[in-house]
Amino acid sequence: MPIYQVALLAIVQGLTEFLPVSSTAHLYLTSWLFGWKTEGLDFDIMLHLGTLLSVLLYFFRDWAQIIGQGFGIRAGRDDQLKHNHMLLWLLAIASIPVGAAGLVFNKQAEGAWRNPFVIGVMLIAVGALMWVAENAGRQQRDMAAVGGPDAVTIGLAQALAVIPGVSRSGITISAGLFRNLDRPTAARFSFLLSTPVIAAAAAKTLWDMHKQHHLHDLITTNFLVGVGVSALTGCVVIAWFLHYLRRSGLRPFAYYRMIFGIIVLALAFIRPPA
């Protein structure tokens, strides 16, 4: 894969993984429109490691405090986290549904469902759901108030993200808003929740490469560029999006998704995938 292709796809991944617009949709459509082939374990691990680095770097202090408090150790100064000692275990509970969904539906998610018709429909459907969530949620609760029902609801919503075009951040932030979390809290919980999911996906891909004796293929300039660019872009996007949500809502992203979904469906009818 040429390095310009790696860099462009890494930027697309970093921009769209944490915004509620579906990174899978944008990566698939970018490659589809340019006629690029991106299949391969090395490409998957590049994107997984890049986005994993993003959340680990940005939320390092949060994770240190959450893990410490989960085991009864006083750590960190974030007041909201300080008042929710169970957050580590709530994140663990919320991670179970998507793990189960990935095991059951992995072949469909990587095969039959990965086509522009499914992606277009899900872009529109989740965009409409985000618009409803933005209007329905009372946004009265912060991270200190997150409890078991919130974790279960958001975790079940995250399981739907195995369907291409859904967007993990879009569906989980919407679920948080329906649970009356404020926007920054819904997004923060969503990003923290993405950490074990992305780590598990990266670990699985590394194991698959190990079984095929291809781990040495990762030591390349393309791989390092892809990981670095997606990680840096992801950090910038997380910081910007959390700042944006303190003063604005999801409606622009909901409209974008619905318009983009219509365009994707139109292109799919004009130029069906091979």
H/E element holding 190? Answer: helix 183-211
What's residue 269's pLDDT? 87
Mean pLDDT, range 247-255, rounded to an integer: 95
**pTM confidence score:** 0.91
Percent of the chain with pLDDT over 90: 58
For 180-210, b/e burial (b = at least 16 CB within 10 A) is bbbbbbbbbbbbbbbbbbbbbbbebbbeebe
Mean pLDDT, range 71-91, rounded to an integer: 89
Residue 6's nearest CA partner among 274, 233, 170 is 233
Asked if the model's pLDDT at residue 89 lies above 60, the reply is yes
Residue 200 contacts residue 20 (beta carbons within 8 Å): no
What's residue 224's pLDDT? 87
List, in order, residues 6 or more apart from 82 with CB less than 8 Å away. Answer: 65, 69, 76, 144
Residue 22 contacts residue 33 (beta carbons within 8 Å): no
Burial class (CB in 10 A: 0-12, 13-18, 19+), 248: exposed
* Amino acid, res. 226: G
| Tens-place pLDDT, residues 108-154 | 887 788 888 999 999 999 999 999 999 998 889 999 999 999 999 99
Instruction: Map residue 141 onto helix, strand or coil.
Output: strand
Residue positions counted in the chain: 274
| Tens-place pLDDT, residues 172-220 | 999 999 999 999 999 999 999 999 988 888 888 777 777 776 667 677 8
Residue 261 contacts residue 123 (beta carbons within 8 Å): yes
In angstroms, rounded to a whole number, what is the distance separating the alpha carbons of residues 27 and 33? 10
Percent of the chain with pLDDT over 70: 95
